[in-house]
């Protein structure tokens, strides 16, 4: 089985980092992962997108996909172009703090106040970790502990001090989905119809 996941947002939100952590966690779990990141020349504010394909078997084609299983939108800027790629059985994750409109009411949608949760936890730039934790809890694609281990392993030496905070943010995101945070709204195709 293969799962195609596209992360979208703007530079500085952790789009590339979310995909990298998830790919590392999958590889550590014995699964196959192929990652393709696209981002502008500026470090902050420019478009940022990362496509990750996870599979139980070797992935033979590069992760340039026409359709995907999931889109994780941290900012509305890239969502309009990606929403049509989402399969009818797919899942759309929206950072409801910044992404107010749902371009695909026909798919399963999970709204997470990722930016707000990160701000309340004292780390305004930690929204990506909140969203990744929510994504893991909602999809159960990997174990959260494996993702936390991959996050710690991906931190460069000068960022190792962020490991505990990032682990907490991942957990807060998972709690948003598991009922620990009533601000999360899950919509289904049935509810939209």
User: Alpha helices, DSSP H only, in the chain?
Assistant: 15-28, 79-82, 114-120, 127-139, 144-154, 163-177, 189-192
**Rounded to two decimals, what is the model's pTM?**
0.89
pLDDT given at position 125: 87
pLDDT given at position 1: 83
CA distance 30 to 24: 10
Low-confidence residues in the chain, pLDDT < 70: 40-45, 61-63, 179-193
- Tell me the CA distances in angstroms from 106 to 35, 140, 179, 190, one per residue in order: 27, 22, 23, 8
Q: Which residue ranges make up each domain of the chain?
A: 2-192
pLDDT given at position 64: 76
CATH code that applies to domain 2-192: 3.40.920.10
């Amino acid at each position: 089985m293969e799962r195609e996941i596209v992360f979208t947002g703007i530079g500085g939100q952790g789009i590339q980092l979310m995909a990298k952590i998830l790919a590392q966690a999958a590889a550590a779990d014995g699964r196959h992962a192929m990652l393709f990141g696209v981002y502008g020349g500026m470090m902050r504010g420019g478009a940022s997108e990362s496509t990750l394909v996870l599979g139980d078997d070797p992935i033979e084609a590069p992760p340039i996909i026409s359709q995907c299983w999931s889109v994780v939108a941290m900012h509305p800027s890239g969502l309009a172009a990606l929403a049509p790629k989402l399969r009818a059985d797919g899942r759309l994750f929206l950072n409801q703090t910044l992404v107010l409109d749902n371009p695909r009411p026909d798919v399963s949608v999970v709204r997470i106040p990722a930016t707000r949760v990160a701000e309340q936890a004292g780390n305004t730039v930690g929204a990506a970790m909140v969203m990744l934790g929510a994504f893991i809890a909602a999809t159960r694609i990997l174990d959260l502990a494996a993702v936390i281990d991959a996050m710690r392993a991906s931190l460069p030496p000068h960022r190792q001090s962020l490991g505990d905070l990032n682990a907490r943010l991942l957990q807060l995101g998972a709690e948003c989905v598991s009922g620990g945070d009533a601000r999360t709204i899950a919509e289904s195709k049935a509810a939209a119809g």
